[in-house]
Chains A and B, each alone.
Chain A
């Protein structure tokens, strides 16, 4: 393959494929765990009740009080501003520019993990929400009345967020001038995209209201909020508290098209994994075929990649749909539509597992850059603000074995949690325990398929 400019991208190092013996062990553990889960399964739902215990009023006053909210919002706006500024004014080398690593690694990969552990931490830092709320406050003060909004079309649900998620990953992986190399986007393109997205988001917030748009359409709020729904900590009605982990995921998925968001997340990660191995050959063939048909190399690569990213999302959707249709064939099943959204949340742990498996090493290595030379020299112009501009990434930090074990463990754990949620939901939907158990053969097949696909992609990546 001919390399076009920006081939550096961020990736100075790639993961070795997981060895066949580890693939075999991973797949075996998945199968054993699955059947074990079936045989010890409980009969009444345990994760449907998302009862939540608030902490003392003092905790809520500090964590959710106005001063901290203003501070976090200001930090969010500042970081967005710095990202856009660095993207526009800084070096065009993606690996030396603050914008690329911050947007695509630190924030995009950091918030999902933080959200599971600490709750929806993106919400206070969301720069668009902060600007939107400030604008609302100014409007209230000036006009002496609440801003009026259009009613959000409920049927639209989270479709805008799902589409935005695909667009974000497309920009990250497909649009980059070297095509097919992760995070190959040039910093100024990223900055322009951030500005366009900011304009669009603020307009939508103005139309439908800040909180409504954050819940339905704002890509990052919806995406990070999805992972936050797995965790134990949450703010509700102005109080900060704790709930049983996993118990809120089902409620998150009630909004229409939530399944589309999870499927988009899974499908895009699958694409990124597959282009490093599983689908590399077919993608190059299609690319060459398009070049022969007279397209420029970059256009051909982009078109081929776009086709394959959609194919990956479609394949994930198809497997899920088959599982849903299978469940619908079990006596006493709710209608198809209801089933489709009722099991969407069971894929969230698998989506998280895919993220960890695929990006864990990139995150660990690239964060060293983020907090050393990218912090001291955000524009890549030779500045040394904190005296760390000369530091580099220590690639000895993680051995290949450590990376492999984290990857396989993430997939296995994600799989088990997915099964737990699916079984639990089935016991709630089917009054009859035997039918509930029967319906879960289908979800079991779906989950085994996704997890083994994840393991397979790791075993053929870069091989």
Chain B
């Protein structure tokens, strides 16, 4: 550590290690983020398509709106994960078999959910972060909204 050469060698090793780490991690990132944005753009993941086949898929050409079905105060198939990029429109539908009220945290949006009716929810995704959508009657979370920059 005393000699100049030692220090230079150490520096070279450090930079090399950093570069390797950067390359390894950023190559992971490339594939990861491609998947991520792909999923986010359509705002529907494979699981949602299977489950969200509510009947509002009629229009050809239009992307399906994910529909969350609530039965007995619980979301069928668990908490729905919905991803959007900031600036997009958040667009999904909820159908509950009992009357309830939907509350979306952060955005502070509240919507009545009449029993058995499909309610379409749409608003601009202008706050980044992760937000819960929950039912007020049962305090149950039915969806998680992820708004990525």
Contacts and interface: CB of A to CB of B under 8 A. Distances in A.
A399 B126 CA distance: 10
A3 B130 CA distance: 17
Contact of A437 (B1, B126, B134): B1
Nearest to B6: A39
A28 B22 contact: yes
B129 A400 contact: yes
Interface in B54-104: 86
A392 B131 contact: no
Interface residues of A, number: 36
A395 B22 contact: no
B26 interface: yes
Q: Is the interface of A mostly helix, strand, loop or mixed?
A: helix
Interface string B16-39: 011101101110110011000000
B108 A24 contact: no
Given A31-B14, A31-B17, A35-B11, A24 B106 contact: no
A27 interface: yes
Contact of A395 (B1, B7, B106, B132): B106
A462 interface: yes
Nearest to A39: B7
A39 B10 CA distance: 8
A227 interface: no
A23 B128 contact: no
A38 B106 CA distance: 45
Interface string A421-463: 0000000000001100110000000000000000000000010
Contact of A434 (B1, B18, B86, B129): B1
B108 A392 contact: yes
Interface residues of B, number: 41
Given A13-B129, A434-B2, A20 B29 contact: yes
A24 B139 contact: no
B15 interface: yes
Contacts of A36: 11, 14
B117 interface: no
A25 B22 contact: yes
B73 to A, nearest CB: 11
Interface string B109-149: 00000000000000000111111101000011100001111
A268 interface: no
Interface in A1-29: 3, 5, 7-8, 12-16, 19-21, 23-25, 27-29
B25 A23 contact: yes
Task: Determine which residue in B22, B130, B134 has the highest number of CB atoms from chain A within 10 A of its CB, and name it.
Answer: B130
A462 B29 CA distance: 17
B128 A400 contact: yes
A15 B132 CA distance: 12
A24 B22 contact: yes
Given A24-B26, A31-B14, A16 B33 contact: no
Given A20-B26, A35-B11, A35-B13, A399 B140 contact: no
B11 A15 contact: no
B47 to A, nearest CB: 17
Contacts of A296: none
Given A15-B130, A400-B129, 15 more contacts: A12-B105, A12-B106, A12-B132, A14-B131, A20-B25, A20-B28, A24-B22, A36-B11, A39-B11, A395-B106, A400-B86, A400-B147, A400-B148, A433-B2, A434-B1
User: A-B pairs with the 9 shortest C-beta distances?
Assistant: A35-B14, A24-B25, A20-B29, A400-B128, A14-B130, A28-B18, A12-B105, A39-B7, A13-B106
Interface of B: 1-2, 7-8, 10-11, 13-15, 17-19, 21-22, 24-26, 28-29, 32-33, 86, 105-108, 126-132, 134, 139-141, 146-149
Interface of A: 3, 5, 7-8, 12-16, 19-21, 23-25, 27-29, 31-32, 34-36, 38-39, 392, 395-396, 399-401, 433-434, 437-438, 462
8 contacts: A7-B139, A13-B130, A24-B24, A28-B19, A35-B10, A35-B11, A35-B14, A38-B1
